[in-house]
Amino acid sequence: MVGAGFAGVECVRRLERRLSPEEADVTLVTPFSYQLYLPLLPQVASGVLTPQSIALSLRRSSRYRTRIIPGGAIGVDLGAKVCVIRTITDRIVDEPYDYIVLAPGSITRTFDIPGLTDHAFGMKTLAEAAYIRDHVISQLDLADASQDPAERASRLQFVVVGGGYAGTETAACLQRLTHAAVRRYPRIDPGLIKWHLIDIAPKLMPELGDRLGRAAQEVLRRRGIEVSLGVSIAKAGAEEVTFTDGRVVPTRTLIWTAGVVASPLIATLGAETVRGRLAVGADLRLPGHDGVFALGDSAAVPDLAKGTEGAVCPPTAQHAGRQGRRVAENLIATLRGLPTRPYLHRDLGLVVDLGGADAVSKPLGVELHGLPAQAVARGYHWSALRTQVAKARVAADWALNAFAGDDFVRTGFQARKPAKLKDFEYTDAYLTPEQVRERVEGSGRARL
């Protein structure tokens, strides 16, 4: 199993439960010892939750049967059935397999925009969320100390690109952070703090529908977040960002959440892809290759519930977890010589937490906003947290934050570390398909 996200963890848990130790050895390759509950990441960035609360321990919830290799897969040779792994100590090891399940998720999608990868932060990892929190608080600290009006202005403007749920929640939650924090900075004029949320699409979160989309936009407008649609970034620099409509915004904070692409691991396979995601069948097997399953954000899984030719499941946690359980069942069926079954799930809707009492949700098609939507959003996420201890931590954090607020403390321990997108998402770590082949053929390893 490659990847311990929503898809990988659900799959491993079911395999452990349903297979006896005599039937299979399960190995999990994962760089981290936790499953990250990504939908609550904006709340870590804004300090409502502590990072630990959404890092769900793999060891607490597994039955301790799975062998966990701490590292990342950097290539797979499908013919030789070998997974090449870079461990967390940078040792490269080959792991032969009989069956492989690929669930390495996705990385932030970037475009060829000058300066983007050098100056933007993503919102995909725990380190990024913790870094952004520190960064935003340090902008307030530095603006407060500065005597230079131009520097102050640029430190107090913030740009978030991407009007999907990740970008909208990030902008909304971080705006609440700066809005609450500014009371502790009497030298800063609150009017100078400005958040921009921009997207090239004509609507925010189109999957919400027109009415809820407008309600979300109204909440943002009321909070003073300037939403610009049909607009993207033309150029990013260390101290300013140029929008495609010609506006130049002085800022030191550019958060890029404009979509995701499959993990670079998928390209090392040399197999067919659909917009970068591995093209699997409805039973989540890779056609033409023995013993390969793929799922979650890294796979293009036919969306049978849509009934439209060529439709694939959107990259959501809702699908990834359920696909994990289906892959486990299909793998077990394959092992036992039984037929596999297709993956089918009808979307349950969307919840968008905008912080405080603000939210919009569309559970099972019912449109909600305000407190009822917030109750649904938090209730949904809380119940989806896998461990009891994570549930307790998140509930305690929410309660503490509601009653005592935030201390706006900047930890500083990451302050002088490289902080580009690729530093956080390890996108440079992978081999090319040729390098994988050369390595595996050169090793003369006995094949399983």
Ligand X SMILES: Cc1cc2nc3c(=O)[nH]c(=O)nc-3n(C[C@H](O)[C@H](O)[C@H](O)COP(=O)(O)OP(=O)(O)OC[C@H]3O[C@@H](n4cnc5c(N)ncnc54)[C@H](O)[C@@H]3O)c2cc1C
| Residue ranges that bind ligand X, judged by CB under 6 A | 2-8, 29-32, 36, 38-39, 41-42, 72-73, 103-105, 123-124, 165-166, 263, 265, 296-298, 315-318, 320
Residue number, 190 or 314, with CB nearest to ligand X: 314
Residue number, 78 or 182, with CB nearest to ligand X: 78
Residue number, 188 or 327, with CB nearest to ligand X: 327
CB of 73 to ligand X, least distance (A): 4
Strand-pair category, 120-121 with 253-256:
parallel
Residue number, 19 or 100, with CB nearest to ligand X: 100
What are the phi and psi torsion angles at 289 (to 5°)?
-130, 130
3-state secondary structure 275-339: CCEEECCCCCECCCCCCEEECHHHEECECCCCCCCCCECCCCHHHHHHHHHHHHHHHHHHHCCCC
- Its sign, for the CA torsion 160, 391, 318, 349, is negative
Angle at the Cα of 6 from the Cα atoms of 5 and 7, rounded to 5 degrees: 90
Residue number, 97 or 185, with CB nearest to ligand X: 97
Residue number, 143 or 216, with CB nearest to ligand X: 216
Structural element, H or E, at residue 236: strand 233-236
CB of 118 to ligand X, least distance (A): 21
CB of 141 to ligand X, least distance (A): 25
- What contacts 428, CB < 8 A, 6 or more positions away? 422
Q: Scanning the structure block, which residue is given the tokens 């130790």?
A: 21
CB of 176 to ligand X, least distance (A): 16
Q: Which amino acid is at 397?
A: D
- Say whether 153 sits in a helix, a strand or coil: helix
CB of 245 to ligand X, least distance (A): 26
Residue number, 116 or 171, with CB nearest to ligand X: 171
Residue number, 156 or 431, with CB nearest to ligand X: 431
Strand-pair category, 157-161 with 194-199:
parallel
CB of 58 to ligand X, least distance (A): 9
CB of 425 to ligand X, least distance (A): 8
Tell me the C-alpha to C-alpha distance, in Å, between residue 75 and each of 105, 274, 314.
15, 19, 25
The answer to whether the beta carbons of residues 105 and 416 sit under 8 Å apart is no
CB of 324 to ligand X, least distance (A): 7
Tell me the C-alpha to C-alpha distance, in Å, between residue 79 and each of 82, 86, 290, 387, 432.
8, 20, 9, 38, 15
What are the phi and psi torsion angles at 383 (to 5°)?
-75, -25
Return the axis-axis angle of helices 165-181 and 210-222, rounded to nearest 10°: 20
Residue number, 188 or 265, with CB nearest to ligand X: 265
CB of 76 to ligand X, least distance (A): 10
CB of 162 to ligand X, least distance (A): 10
Residue number, 143 or 255, with CB nearest to ligand X: 255
- For residue 244 the two structure tokens come to 């495609």
Of all residues in the shown chain, the one whose CB is closest to ligand X is 5
Sheet with 225-229, strands from edge to edge, namely 120-121, 253-256, 157-161, 194-199, 225-229
CB of 257 to ligand X, least distance (A): 7
Residue number, 154 or 316, with CB nearest to ligand X: 316
The answer to whether the beta carbons of residues 259 and 275 sit under 8 Å apart is no
Rounded Cα gap, residues 140 and 203, in angstroms: 31
Rounded Cα gap, residues 132 and 255, in angstroms: 9
